Copies of this chain bind each other. A is one copy, B any other.
Amino acid sequence: MSADTKTGLQLRSLIKKSGELEISLQSVPVPEPGPDEVVVRVEASPINPSDLGLLVGAADMSTAKASGTKESPVVTAKVPEAGMRAMAGRLDESMPVGNEGAGVVIKTGSSDAAKALMGKTVAILGGAMYAQYRCLRIAECLPLPAGITPAEGASCFVNPLTALGMTETMRREGHKALVHTAAASNLGQMLNKICLKDGIGLVNIVRSEEQAGILRKIGAKHVVDSTAASFMDDLTNALVETGATIAFDAIGGGKLAGQILTGMETAINKTAKVYSRYGSSVHKQVYIYGGLDLRPTELNRGFGMSWGVGGWLLTPFLQKIGPADGARLRQRVVDELKTTFASHYTQVVSLQEALQLNHIAVYAKRATGEKYLINPNKGG
């Protein structure tokens, strides 16, 4: 570790009590690793939808302004008053960002397990990854096989484990097939590959014919377009064919979650023998794991009484299944990193470039098909 790696740049997001978001780069000391820790030079970290929540929070990025210098840019934007309530817990606190990434171990602690990682390329999870250097416990590092680059291993955790978490949750809660929305996303494509490989019925809901095409090209069997006039019929038919009674919804707002429950109830009742004014006794579940549509969720409750809607997050799911099952899922990700779990990025940017308004305008709109990778050591 040379003298110039005693400090490193780290991206910070700050929301002030005054209602202003400020994104900047700070020079922070690189900690000395403890016995079971290592220092990783971060070379790749994706901008996932889950990172944007922390990075831009409730700010209205159409008000974004650039200032600072080329080497140390600053972006500011207004947070609408309606959004400030949800920001209460983080006000005036400068927060590092970036859930996951990959890089090379450049310094280790004194333990044998730490020393064994020296020079290795590792996938890393634990926040604050939009930084040149990151000190981590070895348990937070997943050594990658030879031949895997940091860019290839940067998205080992969030999307792959979320996709696997969906099929695991489906099985554990007694369902046999599932529904996924915003289904042409990077995550959605992974989920299709898992379901095709594992023989699981999957109903993909997309919001355009173009997105439907992306999924059909990778072999998806059931793709329905929520903007089509025939959407409810198409959805119900796919639910009859698959028997799906659980859905994972990245949209969150509007009527979609309720439409899925209605479609499931209609599909179930096509084979029902006896009328019950409470609807079918088959439990129908929608888990909301994202909020691409920030409007309220609207449920018309025309789907009987055996239903649930709730939040779903990867971290509590991993806590629930325990370390052994978690390790099994992570091993599958590593084994299939160049196939099932391959991620595709449309842009690779430096920390400074990530703060350029032209890039923010693209990645902050969370559009399917646009995926950014930050290389904090790009050009450095």
- With an 8 A cutoff between CB atoms, is A86 at the interface? yes
A224 CB to nearest B CB, Å: 20
- With an 8 A cutoff between CB atoms, is A269 at the interface? yes
- Please provide the chain A residues from 276 to 322 with a CB less than 8 Å away from any CB of chain B in the complex: 276-278, 281, 288-289, 291, 296-302, 304-313, 315-316
On chain B, the residues within 8 Å of A305 by CB distance are: 289, 311-313
Q: Do B86 and A278 touch across chains, with their CB atoms under 8 A apart?
A: no
Q: Do A310 and B313 touch across chains, with their CB atoms under 8 A apart?
A: no
Interface of chain A: mostly helix, strand, loop or mixed: mixed
Q: Do A277 and B90 touch across chains, with their CB atoms under 8 A apart?
A: yes
Contacts A258-B296, A275-B90 given; indicate if A252 touches B301 (C-beta within 8 A).
Answer: yes
Q: Which of B90, B276, B311 contacts A304 (CB 8 A)?
A: B311
A residues near B, CB below 8 A? 53-54, 57, 85-86, 88-90, 93, 95, 252-253, 258, 269, 272, 275-278, 281, 288-289, 291, 296-302, 304-313, 315-316
What's the Cα separation between A114 and B66 when bound, in Å? 85
On chain B, the residues within 8 Å of A253 by CB distance are: 301
A-B residue pairs in contact (CB < 8 Å), sample of 8: A89-B275, A90-B275, A252-B301, A258-B296, A296-B298, A299-B299, A306-B311, A307-B311
Q: Do A89 and B301 touch across chains, with their CB atoms under 8 A apart?
A: no
Contacts A297-B298, A301-B288 given; indicate if A278 touches B313 (C-beta within 8 A).
Answer: yes
Known contacts A305-B311, A308-B310; 20 further A-B pairs (Cβ under 8 A): A53-B277, A54-B277, A89-B269, A89-B272, A89-B275, A90-B275, A93-B275, A281-B316, A288-B301, A296-B300, A296-B301, A297-B297, A297-B299, A298-B298, A298-B299, A305-B313, A307-B311, A308-B309, A309-B310, A310-B310
On chain B, the residues within 8 Å of A93 by CB distance are: 275
On chain B, the residues within 8 Å of A90 by CB distance are: 275, 277
A83 CB to nearest B CB, Å: 9
Contacts A258-B296, A288-B301, A296-B299 given; indicate if A276 touches B89 (C-beta within 8 A).
Answer: yes
A258 CB to nearest B CB, Å: 7
What's the Cα separation between A57 and B275 when bound, in Å? 13
Q: Do A301 and B306 touch across chains, with their CB atoms under 8 A apart?
A: no
Interface centre among A85, A88, A275, A306 (most CB of B within 10 A): A275
Q: Do B311 and A310 touch across chains, with their CB atoms under 8 A apart?
A: no
What's the Cα separation between A307 and B308 when bound, in Å? 10
On chain B, the residues within 8 Å of A86 by CB distance are: 302
What's the Cα separation between A126 and B88 when bound, in Å? 51
What's the Cα separation between A281 and B89 when bound, in Å? 14
What's the Cα separation between A272 and B299 when bound, in Å? 30
A267 CB to nearest B CB, Å: 13
On chain B, the residues within 8 Å of A289 by CB distance are: 305
Interface centre among A258, A281, A301, A313 (most CB of B within 10 A): A301
When C-beta atoms are compared, the residue in chain B nearest to A295 turns out to be B300
What's the Cα separation between A88 and B272 when bound, in Å? 12
What's the Cα separation between A51 and B358 when bound, in Å? 60
On chain B, the residues within 8 Å of A312 by CB distance are: 305
On chain B, the residues within 8 Å of A302 by CB distance are: 85-86
Q: Do A308 and B306 touch across chains, with their CB atoms under 8 A apart?
A: no
On chain B, the residues within 8 Å of A315 by CB distance are: 278
On chain B, the residues within 8 Å of A306 by CB distance are: 311, 313, 316
What's the Cα separation between A15 and B315 when bound, in Å? 49
What's the Cα separation between A93 and B316 when bound, in Å? 47
